Amino acid sequence: MAQDQGIVIRRYRGGDQVEVLSLFRCCTLGHIRPAFLHALRHPDNVGLALGVAVAAAVLSGGSLWVVAGACAAWVGLLLFLCWEVYGGYVRERLRSDMADIEAHFLSHPDKCFWVAEAEVAEGSKVIVGTVAVTRWSGGVAEGEVRGHGEKEGVQERCREGESERERPEQEEGRVAELFRMLVLPGWRRGGLGRRLAQTALVFCSERGYSRVILQTTSTQVAALALYRAMGFQDTLTRALPLTMRPARISVLRLEKPM
């Protein structure tokens, strides 16, 4: 467990691109394993696995090899779906905002991208975290993990008393989106995530945003705990498209008034 002492949070510079993209891939793809383990243990998937095993046994006349092969195929499918949720997201973002971070995040005073830089052995420095803020104009927020880039078939569950239709931004003032909140595994649990989030929130306050929205996936338990502890409230849950549903991953939207 690394502490965040000696870590400087600063604005992104052009020379940071290689490190930032590597961190983005590492942190995002790192969610695959916990998502896969969650999918394996999910009661619905356990029931489906038993059904697959029984069906294979009946159709094969009780062949253990066929049953084992069918179960292995089911497990492989779950792993593939979890990989595609996060791997597909990485591919999509590397072709869009992460392809030109300066143009997407630093081209307007209401947007920003920060990196957390730590000094390691012999005075060398390494980027160990990032966070970004941009303006949110309604609809599907930019940081949402969709799985294959799809939006069709998305199911929403709004908090009580709220319409499924997005609230117009002009009714509540300017809205910011916080995302790219990433910390390398070896530097977590030392307070760096909170520092990054707080840096972004101070920026949002200074820029006159009325509320901040972020989105994360249901399997990111530690991140969700941090956001909720910082005053973010759950407002929306989006299910993945039907073809990706066995991964048992939901996209959660959280909001915090400024």
8 A C-beta contact, residue 78 and residue 36: yes
pLDDT averaged over every residue in the chain? 84
* pLDDT tens digit sequence for 45-61: 999 999 999 998 998 88
In this predicted model, what pLDDT tens digit does every residue of 14-38 receive, in sequence order? 899 999 999 999 999 999 999 999 9
The pLDDT of residue 140 is: 45
Kindly list the domain boundaries of the chain, sorted by start residue: 7-33+92-257
| CATH assignment, 7-33+92-257 | 3.40.630.30
Lowest mean pLDDT among 4-13, 182-191, 242-251: 4-13
Per-residue confidence (pLDDT) for residue 60, from 0 to 100: 86
Q: Which two tokens stand for residue 211?
A: 């509320």
pLDDT at 155: 33
Using 50, 70 and 90 to split pLDDT, how confident is the model at 160? very low
Other CB atoms within a 10 A radius of the CB of residue 102 amount to 13
Mean pLDDT of 117-128: 86
16-33 burial by CB neighbour count: b if 16+ within 10 A, else e? beebbbebbbebbeebbe
Q: How confident is the model at residue 5 (pLDDT cuts 50, 70, 90)?
A: low
What are the pLDDT digits (tens) for 192-230? 999 999 999 999 999 999 999 999 999 999 999 999 999
Q: Say whether pLDDT at 150 is over 90.
A: no
Closest CA to 227 of 181, 160, 176, 166: 181
